[in-house]
Structure 1
Amino acid sequence: MTDSIKKHLWADIVNAPALPGVYAWYYSPEITDYDLEQTISRLKECREADRSAAEALVRETLDNRVFRHFREDPYHAVIEGPLKPTYSGTLEHNFRVSGGLVQRIVDDPDRLRTIRNVLDMSAPMFASPLYMGMATELRTRLATHKSLIERYRRLHRQEAEPARNTDAGFAWQIAKRKIPPDRLIVFTCTTAADDKTAVDIENILNRIYYPILGRN
């Protein structure tokens, strides 16, 4: 039998259940009050004189504050066929902001306020998980995640990138993408106290929800 799902903020991880279970990390995107007001003010000043500059500002703001945290790493691809040459290389995530979205924001910069407010409340209801896992003791496992994230935020450029499907790999990605830890949320759900229930649930959840920064 499982308990109800519980939400833990970054500062609250120490209070996670000391029980077996599954967990999921989420990131709540943030556009600060300062960035919001500065962007709206600059858009209103420049959109008539230089619309292309206003459009570039919208794209830059959305990319820096929202989209870059979720951009996929490159894929390594191989194309081959019978009696054909073999091609291999990397495929970059070609991410483009909708032109219609940019135009509407330039025309009405204040709509950024509504966008910011919805984004601020979007996790987890509208969000994909960053990482999902299981633990024989949730409190200890999540404390390990927190410690690794803090470590790689200090040192990630000085050490080789760990495997993506590990606790260290997840922490590395958080540091690499400069995701603010205080915007991370983790949800826990305890499970039966045996050695397979949480494993089975994690296996299923990873295959139907596709966490962005780590899949087992």
Structure 2
Amino acid sequence: MTDSVQLSHFSMLDVDQAPESPGLYAWYVSFRAGPHDWKTKPSADGDQAIGSFLNLLRKYAGYYEPMPINLSGRGSYGAKWEGSLELDYPLREPTEGAQPGDDDLLQRLETLVGSLDTEERRRVMSSILHRASPVFSSPLYIGVATNLQERLRKHRMDYTRTHDWLREHPEDAEIIRARGKNFGQRAAARSIAMEHLEAWIIDLADEENDEVTKKHLRNTAESAEWLLHRLYSPILGRQ
């Protein structure tokens, strides 16, 4: 028996080419770096490319940084406790004077910096990360659609509108990052470049027949979407 489920992928720039059929899709962000990022940049203080490449890694890791968790509770005599629990994200840009509290984490970060100390090692790191998405990574977002092309174009439109808004209102980025109503808004608020976003799709067009109607396909796809959300916890999905 042959597998009739079709798997393909499209850049956000090219979603007009996606099929107009039911299916599932997942958004990923690819790591992009070129020779200008990993080539040696001599200076009086050493190779400046080490620090700039590390910042590139930090920016990419930041796309996956979880949002803070809001907590609340009640104590004795009606006292109310509430606050926000924020992950100590290991690749976040360190604040002045701050040091990781975990010796193992500090050693890991020092090892990471050491692995970027030559042009060739930076090139290899870039190649690994570029190939890792989506094979090794969790998706940013998983969705289901009756018409894949229409749905992906809607994501692009939401992204474009939000991106244009934030150019004029950068102060709104954190609010949209935390409360954005859709994937396009949340991706734009994390400053992910459109050309770095790509959607991998499972096209279910060939699965439709007299017994399996488009409605049945949609229901099955929605069940699969529910399961995949719980398996992979996409960082920009609905909470």
Q: Partner residue of 1:161?
A: 176
Deviation (angstroms), 1:57? 5.3
CA distance in 2, matches of 1:20, 1:87: 46
Encode CA deviations 1:177-200: one digit per residue, 9 max, x unaligned. Answer: 111111111111133512412211
Deviation (angstroms), 1:106? 5.6
**Quick one: structure 1 residues 130 and 169, their matched pair in 2 at CA, closer, same or farther if it must change by over 3 Å?**
same
Encode CA deviations 1:30-81: one digit per residue, 9 max, x unaligned. Answer: 22432322xx325x75249xxxx998656434213x2222212221123556
Do the aligned residues in 2 keep the contact of 1:132 with 1:211 (CA within 8 Å)?
Answer: yes
Deviation (angstroms), 1:85? 5.8
Residue identity over aligned pairs, in percent, reads 26
Tell me the TM-score normalized by structure 2.
0.73
Tell me the TM-score normalized by structure 1.
0.80
Encode CA deviations 1:112-143: one digit per residue, 9 max, x unaligned. Answer: 11001111222110111011111111111111
Where do 5+ consecutive residues of structure 1 fail to align?
none
CA distance in 1, matches of 2:126, 2:50: 18
**Quick one: structure 1 residues 101 and 61, their matched pair in 2 at CA, closer, same or farther if it must change by over 3 Å?**
farther
Please, what is the CA RMSD of the aligned residues? 3.1
**Count of matched residue positions in the alignment of Structure 1 and Structure 2:** 206
Q: Partner residue of 2:57?
A: 62
**Quick one: structure 1 residues 55 and 139, their matched pair in 2 at CA, closer, same or farther if it must change by over 3 Å?**
closer
Q: Which amino acid aligns with 2:176?
A: E
Within 5 A, what are the aligned runs for 1:19-168?
19-37=21-39, 40-42=40-42, 46-47=45-46, 59-64=54-59, 66-78=60-72, 86-97=80-91, 98-105=108-115, 107-108=117-118, 110-156=120-166, 157=169, 161=176, 168=181
Deviation (angstroms), 1:176? 1.3
DSSP-derived class of the 1:132 partner: strand
**Quick one: structure 1 residues 62 and 88, their matched pair in 2 at CA, closer, same or farther if it must change by over 3 Å?**
same
**Quick one: structure 1 residues 84 and 124, their matched pair in 2 at CA, closer, same or farther if it must change by over 3 Å?**
same
DSSP-derived class of the 1:34 partner: helix
